[in-house]
Every structure is written in structure tokens, then in C-alpha cells.
Structure 1
Amino acid sequence: MQNQLTNSVLGLTPTLAEQQAYGYSAARLVGYCNPKGRLLASAWIGLFPSATDDRFILFISKDIAASTAKRLAMYVLRSKVKVIDLSAKWAVHGLYGSVNQISDTKRNANEVALRLPDVLIDGQSVARLLMAGPKDDFIKGQDSGEILNVWNELEVLSAIPRIVLATQEAFVPQMINFESVAGVDFKKGCYPGQEIVARSQYRGAIKRRLQLAHVDGASLDEGLVTPGAELFHDQDPTQPAGIVVLSAWRSSEQNRMDLQIECKLEALENGEIHIGSVTGPVLKTDALPYPLLEI
């Protein structure tokens, strides 16, 4: 994986039974690029040793898990490594709440937990925890559409992107702020697309960025705001200005849809950005919760 991913996996602090992987030392955002530097996948990774092996676990979008595992397995060669897609055998749950609530979360010995960066929403900091384990052993929490909606909302507002099937190979990492959320290590060795990613960083070749935005969803066609949906600028209606990365309804505000969008920088500076077509709903941009590293 050190030779395949955008971030270093060396030096990850092992997360032992009943511990939570948290902070850059134990939980890292990684990308997996094709040779052209376009992201095939993104994931959160932690080192969770088992009784017999070192075990790196990647939390990745389910719709690209099988293809990513298959591709990674092609590069195992003579290493004593197995790459396994556990999507069908393991359950994954997300929990959110106060820092104390998340820190005190109980689970059994077969489950692993990775804590994501906190999210500021409506003036309050919300902690998030990903938990995974064999379906037969998993301590199942409460399931509801409302809880899932809030989880998705928190992910969007974190402004940390996640690659899904619809956005595979759409972005060089910097186009979705990957370097600004500690998803790229520019000091590590080579990986697929590394030269293009490095050139984009040091030559200032990136003219597109991830931005938070929202839209009035009172009469919105949800098909317009799914990942991969195109955006258009009113001053250049002939070609897309960007695409939707992720989207979610705002739980505390009726009819508001929050989005992560990837968009041309010049389109963000003036004029209007529309979803779906130049006559579609108008997006309003919002502030990012972190500073961008200068390119």
C-alpha cells in the first residue's frame, strides 16, 4: 500500500482492541490514483492488528470496494499480503454525538473503530465514529432514515471528499482539496500518478477546487444533485463548470440541500452556478471549514 496510495501508511500507530483509531498518527485519509493522477478511490485507513497478523483496514465507499480490492491485489506479487473485500461479511455503522459520547462508545472485541475529524454544525462541534465488524458479532445500533441523513449531512459539511462510483477518475487530488485535508504526503515515495500530482502542486496547475454550497430544495429534482451531476456557469453555458461530489439534506433547515462541489475557480469568482443546466437551480457557495494550502 505504501507504493500505491497518496498518503504514507508507514508509522501508523496500531489501534488495539477496544481502542479507537484517532488523529493522524492512527487514522489517515488516503487516495488511490490511476497512472494519470486521477482518483480511483479514497478511504480512511487504520492499523488494527489481529492475533496473528498486522491488519490494515480501509473504510471505503461500498460501490467501489470490490474493484479497488481487485486492483490492489494485482500488486501484491510476492509479498505476504492478502487483500480482502469484506463488504458482504462485515457491517459498518456510523455514530455521531459529543466527544464524550463518542469516546465512551462500547463495542465487542471483534469490532474496530476509527474516529473521523469533528464537524462544526450550527455552532456545535460534533464527533463522528466509524465502526465495523463481522455481521454476526456486531452490536447493532439504532437504524433510521433521520440518523443516516444527519450522518450524510455531517460528511458533506466536513468538506472532506469521498470518491464514489460516479466520480471515479474525475479528479486529481488537489481538485477536491485532498492535500488540504492531509490526504497527500508529498515526501513519500512513488505511487501511481505521483508525478502528475506533484507537478500539479508545485507548478500551480490546478484551476479547480472543492467548495461547499447549498441550494433551495423545495422543488428540487434529487437527480440533479447526486454525485457526478454537472454544474454550469451562466457566462459559459456550453460546457460544464464542475460536478457534484457529495450532497445531503440539512436536518435543521427545511428544504435546504448542502453540497460538496468541484468547480472552476474562475466560475466561483463571479456570476451564477447552476445545477444540471444553465437554467437549473442556482447554487449559493459557503465557507470551507479549513484553509486551503496554496498551490
Structure 2
Amino acid sequence: MHLQLPENFVVELTNLGLIALTGEQKEEYLQGQITTNVQLLSETQGMLACHCDFKGKMWNSGWLVKHSETLYFTAQQSALGKSLAELNKYGVFSKVDIVDASNDIRLWGFYGPQAKKQLERAFGELNDDHMAVTATENRWVLTLKGPTGSRFIVATPATMPLPDDCVASLANEPQSSWNCLDAVAGIAAIHSQTSNEFVPQMLNMQALGAIDFNKGCYMGQEVVARTKYLGKNKRAAYLLTGTVKNNEQALTIAPGDILEKAIDDNWRRGGSVLHVGFTDNQVWLLAVLSNDSRVGEILRLKEAPDTQLTISELPYSID
């Protein structure tokens, strides 16, 4: 199935929020909390990271950006509160302040070559490397490269909107279109319904460079390492696609929904939905399934059995 989206568009990422960390021990503290090596973070290079509990179950997975002496960690709004609370639980022992910055900073998604050109009017030439950061005094841009081309997450102060020439002539798309691009890129997210349910490898975070197996200790590190070296993981994230009668029907699909797969003459539980996007009666979603699942297999939604979904190719290997 071919993803049908405008060649260039902009979307306000209202479903995405920001956790902000400041203080002289912010890097040292976060190093002990997330799966990536914060020492490799710079003003020009972002990261994808996971925040886990001591059992390795994820509170959040998001993009990490350093800008103006602040570390910004993105999170789905529905999962942000729990991740923020867990970070603050141990942050009281360090010189770090951790707050929800979602009301102070607006996030935008830009997609397509023309969108890039218009962004460059405000930021100058953008670094086109994956997870590169381009910044001005008050704004930053995170470049994401994937199977559909380049796209950009843009952060601006809530009181300082983007210049008109950045968005002029670009189609305005809903959040679901950006979610489709996440799905095609195989980048899952944690929502409130799936918080504290999965270890990072169940969302393919090792394939996305979001786990550093050589860094020191961090929350959940023992379980994450055991999952890798002892082959304990039996589940992974898969891309599924399908069609629905209309977008209203697609809106009923949500993270945490149960998927079923046919076994002999019966339908049995096959997995659960992680992250959903839809456009033009097409559904593109990521779901956790058993890691012996194969491209071309058919699953269905338990609560809507007439909605069938087909496992499609991911842009990376999860072996």
C-alpha cells in the first residue's frame, strides 16, 4: 500500500510535549536514567532515547535535544506526566530541575523538500544528517531522515510563532499524517495506554540506535542488557497497513487496542497497537507482535473484526 500524503506540508504537533531539564547536573543525572549515552549529545546532534523503570519497562521514548543550556526530551502528551513524575522522583538528589515545558514551547512538523527550503529562510542552511540539530537563539530544528525522505521537528517559543514565509504555500495536515510517517519509519511511541508495558527491544529501539549497550548503569539497564545477550525478547514492533470505510472509523483505533491473528480456524490474541496514523481511508500503525510474525500475515482488531491489517516491510532489520 502506498502512503498518500502531500509532497510538502506542515503540522502543529499538539500530541507531542517536552520535558525540560536544567541545572549543573542535568547531563550527569539523565545519564543514569535513559538508554542512550548523554555524553555524546551536543548542540548539533540529537538522540532517540528510552526512559525505563528498574524492570526495564518504558515510561517514554522520545527525541533528546540540547539547546541553550537545556535538555529537551519529547514525549507523547498522554505519557509525559508519568515520565516526568518518575524523573523527578530521583531528581531531588541532584542539582537538576525537571519541568513540563509543553506550554512554553510549540512543536511543529515539516515534511518535504519545499518545506525544508522555507524553513531555511528562518534558520539558514539545515543540516540534513539524521538527528542533526540546527538552532538559532530561540528556536531549534531536529532533522529526521527516513524511507519517505527528510522531515523536521521545529521548536519555537509559544510567544514567538514561526514567520509567515516558513509556512506559506504549505499544506496544513493533521497530527495523524505525521503519525503515518512515524509508522513508515518504524518509530513507535509510548502513550498512556502502553506506558510501563514494554522493554525497549519490543519497540525495536536497538535497531533505531536508541540503546547504548556500552554505557554505564542506568535505570533498567540490567534487564535491557539481559534481553539482548540472553535472547529473552520474544516480541517486536511491526508495521501494519489496511483500509477503513472512513477516517471516523480510523479514529476509533487507539494505542493499547488488541489485535488478533488467525490460528487454525480461530482468532487468538496476536498483539497490541502502539502508534496509529491514518489518511485517505488508509491506516498505518505500529504494533507489538510475536517476533516470529512475517510480512504478509493478516491480523484484525478485536473490537472491530471487519478491520483487517497486513504486516508490511519495515525500513530496517530487527534480527
TM-score interval, smaller chain: 0.7 to 0.9
The question of whether the paired residues in 2 share the 8 Å contact of 1:224 and 1:275 is answered with no
Cα distance change of structure 1 residues 279 and 76 upon mapping to structure 2, 3 Å threshold: closer
Amino acid at match of 1:3: G
- Partner residue in 1 for 2:72: 57
Q: Tell me the percent identity.
A: 26
- Partner residue in 1 for 2:219: 192
CA distance in 2, matches of 1:111, 1:103: 11
Deviation of 1:214 after TM superposition, in Å, equals 0.6
CA distance in 2, matches of 1:4, 1:160: 21
- Partner residue in 2 for 1:18: none
Amino acid at match of 1:12: L
CA distance in 1, matches of 2:240, 2:283: 9
Give 5+ residue unaligned stretches, structure 1. 16-25
Matches within 5 A, 1:129-168: 129-139=152-162, 142=167, 146-168=173-195
CA distance in 1, matches of 2:79, 2:95: 24
Matched, 1:214 2:241: yes
- Partner residue in 1 for 2:6: none
Q: Which of 64, 68, 87 is residue 72 of structure 1 equivalent to?
A: 87
SS at 2:307 equivalent: coil
Deviation of 1:238 after TM superposition, in Å, equals 7.2
SS at 2:138 equivalent: coil
Deviation of 1:63 after TM superposition, in Å, equals 2.0
SS at 2:40 equivalent: coil
Amino acid at match of 2:243: D
The question of whether the paired residues in 2 share the 8 Å contact of 1:94 and 1:128 is answered with yes
- Partner residue in 2 for 1:9: 38
Q: Which of 277, 285, 300 is residue 259 of structure 1 equivalent to?
A: 285
The question of whether the paired residues in 2 share the 8 Å contact of 1:38 and 1:173 is answered with yes
SS at 2:287 equivalent: strand
CA distance in 2, matches of 1:147, 1:275: 24
Cα distance change of structure 1 residues 104 and 218 upon mapping to structure 2, 3 Å threshold: same
Cα distance change of structure 1 residues 169 and 67 upon mapping to structure 2, 3 Å threshold: closer
SS at 1:75 equivalent: helix
Structure that is richer in strand per residue: 2
SS at 1:231 equivalent: strand
Give 5+ residue unaligned stretches, structure 2. 1-29, 124-135
Amino acid at match of 1:86: A
Cα distance change of structure 1 residues 112 and 269 upon mapping to structure 2, 3 Å threshold: closer
Cα distance change of structure 1 residues 244 and 78 upon mapping to structure 2, 3 Å threshold: closer
The number of aligned residues is 271
CA distance in 2, matches of 1:42, 1:91: 19
Matches within 5 A, 1:1-295: 1-15=30-44, 26-48=45-67, 50=68, 54-98=69-113, 101=117, 104=120, 106=122, 109-116=137-144, 118-121=145-148, 125=149, 127-139=150-162, 142=167, 146-218=173-245, 221-222=249-250, 225-235=253-263, 240-250=269-279, 254-268=280-294, 272-276=298-302, 279-292=305-318, 294=319
Deviation of 1:213 after TM superposition, in Å, equals 1.1
CA distance in 2, matches of 1:176, 1:66: 21
CA distance in 2, matches of 1:269, 1:91: 37
TM-score using structure 1 length: 0.82
TM-score using structure 2 length: 0.76
Cα distance change of structure 1 residues 154 and 217 upon mapping to structure 2, 3 Å threshold: same
CA distance in 1, matches of 2:296, 2:137: 54
Deviation of 1:101 after TM superposition, in Å, equals 2.5
- Structure 1 window deviating more from structure 2 (73-82 vs 152-161): it is 73-82
- Partner residue in 1 for 2:27: none
